[in-house]
């Protein structure tokens, strides 16, 4: 081995130290750059050579620059980021629903239900007081309005949530396109991994984009031998090398909302978590489920109240009445499109004179046994039409219409154990069958004196109003043994519990993510003290290599001078 070999060996060491200084300087320069991943110079011993019986090293060779990263830890952190993003989205949705349902002011649903019941108490104490009747109708109108408003607010929140999906789909396409482009640039720069160095700047950018994508949707990232990454969502690939699958918005009839689909396969994007997954859950299970429950509550309120009110009497009889439900008159009751299916039973139609005295009472049979010959709306109407002094028909709007066709006569209803009157919308307090269309019957708003108070005849008793009082607090088969008030209180409590659980879950995910992020930063982040130590090490190695070259040069000069 010659002195020239020693000089060349040290020159290579100088170059390695220079490259090391450059990498350290690059790290220090990017110490505060968001998303920067620390780099290090990888050095390997040069190929050895044999001189006689001795094997001698040939110095050092820079093999490449590598990002310092724990890929398994990074993937765990991405997964935690997905959970945090989804958890915070759901927490916001539950909190918004809680604000709408809580009803801390006088306009809340629970408060209106209580005020309506109090107005019934007032009327029971003064059944002939016109002001008490007006108050009942006013509070009933306020209650139905509160339910309408709750539906409107929840539907608006559901629509706002649904409107986030197109923006998320567009963001996902933008991220996928850029990551696919970076895959190509990285493969070209790294030579398909034929080089030992990482395309660090491009990899940093791709890493940041993957982290951003992980917040939107739960992804599975797999790095290929070529240096590119493949990204999967729910088993379907979204990105593979230079190719990416575009997503688009489509209408889903089952959920009555939009969903994100993969354009190439026309299949739904199977997002279970992240912002996209949480938005879908918030729309369908948070706001959507409450809308369904609110419809159930509104329909139950109308049915429970109407079944009592429809068979009662006010201060006088009816001259003309039109049902509020459009029916199918010629088919069995189960298919007649009534508010609900009446039971097998009967109800009474009473004919009154000008003084409100009973002229005649007629029992109308309602047969619903599921056999041939069961009642239809037409057959029931015919029984009523056969009563002297009363005409009955199904009008052009498909609604049952009854008219007292003799001057001085009127009619009332009583003892309905079939539920037909309320199901057909006759003499009801409320109209509508959902939270959106629930309202007080216009017929009563125009004629408050017809509000049902008696059950044994006009002015004879107050049994009807007595039965209506506290009806909201009584268990009902319509709500599976719950009362209307208990149903509402349970929903408020359930939502409050869901908010608390979601808050705890979101905080837990956030704490876990923070822990993983700290571990990740301890590996990938730039430690200035550590870089300073490396800086001194490369400086000392540069000085020592320079001293070797200087010594070898002096020895060579001495040898030449001999």
Say what the pLDDT of residue 119 is.
94
- Helix (H) / strand (E) element for 5: namely helix 3-29
pLDDT in tens, the chain (562 residues): 577 777 888 888 888 889 889 989 998 998 998 888 898 888 888 887 777 778 777 888 888 888 888 888 988 998 999 999 999 999 999 999 988 886 545 557 888 999 999 999 999 999 889 999 999 999 999 999 999 999 999 999 999 999 999 999 999 999 999 999 999 999 888 877 666 777 788 888 999 999 999 999 999 999 888 888 999 998 888 999 889 999 999 987 776 778 899 999 888 998 888 999 999 999 999 999 999 999 999 999 999 999 999 999 999 999 999 999 999 999 999 999 999 999 999 999 999 998 889 999 999 999 998 888 899 999 999 999 999 999 999 999 999 999 999 999 999 999 999 999 999 999 999 999 899 999 999 999 999 999 999 988 777 888 999 999 999 999 988 888 889 988 888 888 888 888 889 889 999 999 999 999 899 888 888 989 998 999 999 889 888 888 888 888 888 888 888 7
Alpha-carbon gap, residue 56 to 522, rounded angstroms: 39
**Strand-by-strand arrangement of the 257-262 sheet:** 247-252, 257-262, 267-268
C-beta atoms surrounding 534 within 10 Å: 19
Cβ atoms of 154 and 287 within 8 Å: the answer is yes
3-state DSSP assignment of residue 366: strand
Cβ atoms of 394 and 322 within 8 Å: the answer is no
CA–CA distances in Å: residue 80 to residues 90, 93, 368: 15, 20, 58
Cβ atoms of 438 and 464 within 8 Å: the answer is no
C-beta atoms surrounding 18 within 10 Å: 13
CA–CA distances in Å: residue 82 to residues 86, 96, 289: 6, 22, 24
Say what the pLDDT of residue 104 is.
44
Which residues, at least 6 apart from 294, have a Cβ–Cβ distance to it below 8 Å?
A: 147, 150, 151, 154, 435
Give the ranges where 356-468 is alpha helix by DSSP (H): 377-385, 420-423, 442-446, 463-468
Q: Which residue has the tokens 């498909």?
A: 398
Which residues, at least 6 apart from 337, have a Cβ–Cβ distance to it below 8 Å?
A: 325, 326, 327, 328
CA–CA distances in Å: residue 411 to residues 303, 313, 357, 426: 22, 10, 10, 12
Say what the pLDDT of residue 469 is.
94
Using alpha carbons, select from 549, 259, 544, 302 the residue that is nearest to residue 435: 302
User: pTM for this structure?
Assistant: 0.83
3-state DSSP assignment of residue 409: coil
Say what the pLDDT of residue 100 is.
82
Say what the pLDDT of residue 404 is.
94
Alpha-carbon gap, residue 227 to 524, rounded angstroms: 19
- Range 430-468 burial, b when 16+ CB lie within 10 A, else e: bbbbbbeebbbbebbeeebebbbbbbebbeeebbbbbbb
**Adjacent-strand bridge partners of 45:** 60
**Adjacent-strand bridge partners of 394:** 400
3-state DSSP assignment of residue 372: coil
Domains (ranges, CATH) in the chain?
A: 3-68+526-561 (no CATH), 319-426 (2.60.40)
Q: Provide the Cα torsion 219, 223, 227, 232; round to 10°.
A: -40
**Strand-by-strand arrangement of the 400-404 sheet:** 320-322, 400-404, 390-394
**Adjacent-strand bridge partners of 403:** 320, 391
Q: Which residue has the tokens 């009973």?
A: 358
Give the ranges where 248-309 is alpha helix by DSSP (H): 274-281, 288-309
Say what the pLDDT of residue 106 is.
54
Length of the chain equals 562
Cβ atoms of 472 and 117 within 8 Å: the answer is yes
């Amino acid at each position: 081995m010659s002195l020239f070999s020693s000089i060349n060996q040290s020159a290579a060491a100088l170059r390695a130290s220079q490259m090391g200084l450059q990498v350290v300087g690059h790290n220090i320069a990017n110490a505060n750059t968001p998303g920067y991943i620390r780099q290090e110079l990888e050095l390997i011993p040069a190929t050895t050579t044999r001189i006689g019986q001795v094997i001698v090293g040939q110095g050092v060779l820079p093999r490449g620059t590598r990002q310092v990263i724990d890929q398994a830890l990074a993937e765990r952190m991405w997964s935690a980021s997905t959970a945090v993003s989804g958890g915070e989205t759901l927490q916001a949705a539950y909190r918004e629903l809680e604000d709408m349902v809580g009803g801390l002011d006088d306009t809340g649903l629970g408060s209106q239900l209580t005020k309506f019941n109090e107005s019934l108490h007032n009327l029971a104490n003064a059944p002939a007081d016109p002001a008490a009747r007006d108050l009942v109708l006013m509070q009933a109108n306020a209650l139905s309005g509160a339910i309408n408003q709750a539906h409107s607010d929840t539907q608006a929140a559901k629509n706002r949530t649904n409107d986030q999906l197109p923006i998320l789909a567009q963001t996902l396409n933008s991220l996928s396109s850029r990551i696919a482009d970076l895959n190509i640039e990285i493969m070209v720069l790294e030579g398909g991994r034929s080089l030992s160095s990482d395309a660090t700047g491009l990899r940093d950018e791709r890493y940041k984009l993957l982290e951003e994508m992980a917040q939107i949707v739960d992804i599975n990232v797999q790095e290929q031998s070529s240096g590119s990454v493949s990204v999967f969502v729910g088993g379907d690939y979204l990105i593979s090398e230079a190719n990416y699958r575009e997503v688009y918005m489509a209408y889903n009839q089952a959920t009555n909302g939009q969903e994100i689909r993969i354009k190439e396969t026309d299949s739904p994007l199977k997002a279970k978590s992240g912002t996209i997954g949480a938005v879908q859950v918030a729309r369908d299970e948070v706001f959507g489920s409450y809308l369904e429950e609110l419809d159930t509550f509104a329909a139950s309120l109308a049915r429970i109240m109407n079944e009592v009110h429809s068979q009662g009497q006010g201060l006088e009889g009816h001259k003309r009445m039109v049902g509020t439900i459009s029916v199918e008159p010629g088919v069995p009751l189960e298919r007649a499109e009534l508010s609900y299916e009446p039971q097998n039973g009967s109800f009474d139609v009473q004919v009154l004179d000008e003084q409100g005295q009973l002229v005649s009472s007629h029992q109308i049979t309602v047969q619903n046994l599921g056999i041939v010959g069961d009642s239809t709306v037409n057959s029931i109407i015919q029984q009523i039409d056969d009563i002297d002094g009363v005409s009955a028909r199904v009008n052009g709007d498909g609604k049952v219409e009854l008219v007292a066709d003799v001057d001085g006569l009127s009619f009332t209803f009583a003892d309905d154990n079939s539920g037909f009157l309320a199901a057909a919308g006759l003499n009801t307090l409320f109209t509508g069958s959902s939270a959106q269309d629930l309202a007080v019957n216009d017929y009563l708003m125009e004629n408050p004196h017809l509000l049902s108070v008696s059950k044994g005849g006009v002015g004879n008793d107050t049994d009807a109003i007595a039965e209506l009082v506290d009806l909201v607090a009584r268990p009902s088969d319509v709500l599976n043994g719950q009362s209307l008030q208990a149903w509402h209180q349970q929903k408020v409590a359930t939502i409050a519990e869901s908010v608390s659980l979601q808050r705890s879950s979101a905080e837990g995910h956030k704490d876990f993510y923070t822990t993983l992020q700290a571990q990740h930063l301890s590996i990938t982040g730039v430690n200035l003290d550590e870089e300073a130590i490396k800086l001194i090490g490369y400086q000392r190695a540069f000085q020592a290599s320079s001293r070797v070259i200087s010594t070898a040069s002096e020895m060579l000069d001495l040898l030449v001078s001999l």
